Structure 1
Amino acid sequence: MEIRIEDSYRSGRFEEIAFLYAPVGLVVTENRVIRDCNFAFAEMFGYDRDDLKDELFSSLYPSREEFVNIRDRGVNRLRETNTYWDERIMARKNGALFWCRVRGHSFTPDDPLQRAVWSFADLSEIRPYSALTRREREIVSFLADGLTSKEIAQRLDLSYRTVEVYRAKLLKKFGVTNTNALLQALGDIESAHVVNRGAEGE
């Protein structure tokens, strides 16, 4: 690696070492298959780089269901503006779950997930993971996005009453009395950070 770094400085070509050594996780995907990633990305998830190449991205999610549920999130925004970011729960190799901030850029905007590059930032230090079921995480994300229980019910194909029951259980679980306090208890999640709101700065 030292030879590669020296060669880059001698030649003035820094693309490779910038990708490999960037202090944020970077990954290049093709149809949601990992084609390459940098050291920070591999370390974040507890793998060696070579172990992740050509692997399905689904292995880095808490469950197959969550991989499917989040698959189309942001596709329209990428198609329209080629900018997207959100915050989501991911899974390390050892099974530990953690919050990540994810940003994306597509090389094929007409088919955004065909070829893309993504950055991943580990938010563990500022947002510790709190144990929630998959459905609870979905509802929290929608609450943070400002949706009402009725709107959440429509999105998740649930009854309004079911969503209200989940919401009440979440408030009780975290010992709070309203949604704002719940989001603060979960690490100050704000709606602008859970789903894309446009061209936020890096």
Structure 2
Amino acid sequence: MHAPVGLVVTESRLIRECNNAFARMFGYTPDALRSQMFSVLYPSDEEFVNIRDRGVKQLRETNTYWDERIMARKDGKLFWCRVRGHSFTPESPLDRAVWSFADLSDTRPYLPLTRREREILSHLSDGLTSKEIALQLDLSHRTVEVYRAKLLKKFNVANTSGLFHALGGIDSSHVASNSSNKS
């Protein structure tokens, strides 16, 4: 209960128990979070679904998962955090799992991104070229280049490598996003 890192036990993505550090990180008390769907801590329902889809395969294969993602506090403020998980039921990983959460706000301040910027960033993190991203999103490759340039300017970097370094130097398999094929 008094560990310095946020800890939470979930059953089918429902919060069963959490410690003080976890609840404080999100602006709640532990009692207020018990029996809540984990979706209350995500910026959107779409991101809640995307993270589930992204992590289940790795949990089944290795029984561990980690990423760095944007989460939402009770007051609606968004922030980056590092998430690590372990399942007690590897055959059905989300039935019962334990997760640790570390607030990265001090080292990685949140910069607001548009939905399209997040989509493009997600595809870049998957190693796609501007032309491949354009095909995925049904856009002109020049439009993708404009968004790419805006991202570089926003993060004050010269290239895509610098962009991912600004995001913490993590590789694409650990960047959780809410990409979709919607225009």
The TM-score with structure 2 as length reference comes to 0.83
Q: Distance in 2 between matches of 1:195 and 1:188?
A: 10
Unaligned runs of 5+ in 1: 1-19, 197-202
- Paired residues of 1:61 and 1:90 also in contact (CA < 8 A): yes
Q: Distance in 2 between matches of 1:194 and 1:150?
A: 23
Highest relative contact order (Cα 8 Å, sep 6+), 1 or 2? 2
Q: Distance in 1 between matches of 2:151 and 2:105?
A: 21
Q: Which has the larger radius of gyration?
A: 1
Task: Identify if the C-alpha distance between structure 1 residues 159 and 177 changes in structure 2 by more than 3 Å, giving closer, same or farther.
Answer: farther
The one-letter code of the counterpart of 1:158 is L
Q: Distance in 2 between matches of 1:107 and 1:152?
A: 37
- What is the identity percentage for the equivalent residue pairs of Structure 1 and Structure 2? 71
Q: Distance in 1 between matches of 2:5 and 2:155?
A: 31
Q: 2:168 is matched with which residue?
A: 188
- 1:42-61 aligned at under 5 Å gives the runs 42-61=23-42
1:159 counterpart = 2:145 = no
Q: Distance in 2 between matches of 1:116 and 1:90?
A: 19
Match of 1:68 among 49, 53, 56: 49
Task: Identify if the C-alpha distance between structure 1 residues 138 and 70 changes in structure 2 by more than 3 Å, giving closer, same or farther.
Answer: farther
The TM-score with structure 1 as length reference comes to 0.76
- Paired residues of 2:164 and 2:171 also in contact (CA < 8 A): no
Q: Distance in 1 between matches of 2:102 and 2:132?
A: 30
Paired residues, number:
174
Deviations 1:44-74 (A, max 9, x none): 0000100000101111011112112222112
Q: Distance in 1 between matches of 2:167 and 2:68?
A: 12
Kindly state the Cα deviation for residue 108 of structure 1 after the two structures are TM-superposed. Answer: 1.1
Q: Distance in 2 between matches of 1:78 and 1:188?
A: 23
Task: Identify if the C-alpha distance between structure 1 residues 189 and 107 changes in structure 2 by more than 3 Å, giving closer, same or farther.
Answer: same
Q: 1:97 is matched with which residue?
A: 78
The one-letter code of the counterpart of 2:138 is S
Task: Identify if the C-alpha distance between structure 1 residues 35 and 178 changes in structure 2 by more than 3 Å, giving closer, same or farther.
Answer: same
The one-letter code of the counterpart of 2:171 is S
RMSD (Å), alpha carbons: 2.4
Kindly state the Cα deviation for residue 141 of structure 1 after the two structures are TM-superposed. Answer: 4.1
- 1:30-179 aligned at under 5 Å gives the runs 30-144=11-125, 146-149=127-130, 152=133, 157-159=136-138, 161=141, 163-179=144-160
The one-letter code of the counterpart of 1:26 is L
Q: Distance in 2 between matches of 1:55 and 1:46?
A: 14
Kindly state the Cα deviation for residue 115 of structure 1 after the two structures are TM-superposed. Answer: 1.1
Q: 1:9 is matched with which residue?
A: none
